[in-house]
């Protein structure tokens, strides 16, 4: 069986970002925290924390931290029904959630804010591409995820959210410079394009859907949703930007569509663990409401 005082030390180090802060949270010495984590690593037979600044959990450590949070959710629900079972106050529960950067930058945060205000719970948001967030659910690293995967992860509930609409945009000056004869396949193969990271295939998908196979042009890598939009405005390259973020700039003429009306819709789904239903159901309610306001119906 797992030793939960040892697990609590591990979770505190990761959550607080250091051994000293974890010790203060737990009311023990930093040496005691270090000893507990070493004892847990010996029991598990694997390293659980990379002792950097701040400490970072290994894959095994992240799974154990997620397990601790699941147990805390279950205990919080039980204590709400049976208050005499409640133990010493350990602080608010933390939900670890995987979300793609474009959702975080365009529609997810208002839902997170309303959830946090209503429940007092904390969120630990993990950024990953929407094609990969479900994998974090499978490993137990997170309790919920915004994902492109519709099939339920074992042990999870799922619901369709709608589609995040993307529009291919560039600054007027960039369009004049690189597409003087209009946006055509040959010009696209030569024009600089933005990509979020090596996982980002949205620009290539839009080109294939609009023009068929076209070689990718020179690529700038900009791993930030706001930076992506700013780079588009600055004329560094053309890119797909979430329509909720780009709409104002399109209306003002600071950005223009490469091909008017040719959108790329990315269906999104919300999946969350079945355990700890009260808090996760509250978060689900806010996520679904925000999605209704900002996303478009999935085709």
* Per-residue model confidence as pLDDT tens digits over 269-298: 999 988 767 889 999 999 999 999 999 998
Give the per-residue SS3 of 8-31: HHHHHHHHHCCHHHHHHHHCCCHH
Mean pLDDT of 61-68: 84
pLDDT of res. 139: 75
With the CA atoms of 272, 273, 278 and 282 taken in that order, what torsion angle do they form, in degrees rounded to the nearest 10?
Answer: -10
pLDDT of res. 79: 67
Q: Is the pLDDT at 141 greater than 90, yes or no?
A: no
pLDDT of res. 198: 86
Q: Exposed, middle or buried by CB within 10 Å (0-12, 13-18, 19+), for 262? A: middle
Mean pLDDT of 123-152: 88
Structure tokens belonging to residue 222: 């900009």
Q: Is the pLDDT at 84 greater than 80, yes or no?
A: no
> Which of the four pLDDT bands, split at 50, 70 and 90, describes residue 235?
very high
Minimum mean pLDDT range among 91-100, 119-128, 200-209: 91-100
> Which of the four pLDDT bands, split at 50, 70 and 90, describes residue 154?
confident
**Average pLDDT across the chain, whole number:** 90
Q: Is the pLDDT at 143 greater than 80, yes or no?
A: yes
Q: Is the pLDDT at 93 greater than 80, yes or no?
A: no
pLDDT of res. 155: 84
Q: Residue 167's CB: how many other CB atoms inside 10 A?
A: 24
pLDDT of res. 10: 92
Mean pLDDT of 89-108: 86
pLDDT of res. 88: 56
Give the residue with greater pLDDT, 122 vs 77: 122
pLDDT of res. 59: 86
pTM, rounded to two decimals: 0.81
Minimum mean pLDDT range among 30-44, 79-93, 150-164: 79-93
Structure tokens belonging to residue 293: 């306001």
Closest CA to 266 of 211, 215, 196: 196
Q: Is the pLDDT at 91 greater than 70, yes or no?
A: no
Handedness of CA 174, 178, 184, 188 (dihedral sign): negative
Peptide bond into 54 cis (omega under 30): yes
């Amino acid at each position: 069986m797992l030793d939960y005082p040892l697990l609590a030390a591990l979770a505190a180090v990761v959550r607080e970002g250091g051994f000293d802060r974890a010790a203060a949270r737990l009311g023990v010495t930093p040496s005691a925290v270090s000893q507990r984590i070493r004892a847990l690593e010996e029991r598990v037979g694997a390293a659980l924390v990379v002792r950097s600044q701040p400490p970072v959990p290994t894959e095994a450590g992240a799974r154990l931290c997620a397990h601790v949070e699941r147990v805390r959710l279950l205990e919080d629900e039980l204590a709400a029904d049976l208050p005499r079972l409640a133990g010493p106050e350990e602080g608010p529960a933390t939900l670890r959630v995987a979300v793609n950067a474009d959702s975080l930058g365009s529609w997810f945060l208002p839902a997170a804010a309303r959830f946090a205000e209503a429940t007092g719970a904390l969120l630990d948001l993990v950024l990953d591409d929407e094609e990969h967030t479900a994998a974090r659910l499978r490993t137990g690293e997170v309790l919920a995820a915004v994902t492109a995967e519709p099939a339920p992860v074992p042990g999870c509930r799922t619901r369709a959210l709608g589609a995040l609409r993307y529009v291919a945009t560039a600054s007027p000056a960039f369009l004049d410079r690189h597409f003087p004869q209009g946006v055509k396949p040959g010009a696209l193969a030569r024009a600089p394009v933005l990509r979020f990271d090596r996982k980002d295939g949205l620009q290539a998908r839009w080109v294939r859907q609009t023009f068929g196979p076209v070689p990718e042009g020179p690529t700038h890598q900009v791993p930030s949703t706001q930076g992506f939009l700013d780079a588009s405005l600055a004329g560094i390259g053309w890119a797909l930007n979430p329509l909720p973020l780009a709409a104002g700039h399109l209306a003002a003429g600071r950005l223009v569509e490469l091909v008017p009306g040719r959108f790329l819709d990315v269906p999104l789904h919300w999946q969350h663990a079945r355990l700890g239903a009260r808090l996760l159901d509250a978060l689900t309610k806010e996520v679904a409401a925000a999605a209704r306001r900002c996303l478009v119906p999935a085709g």
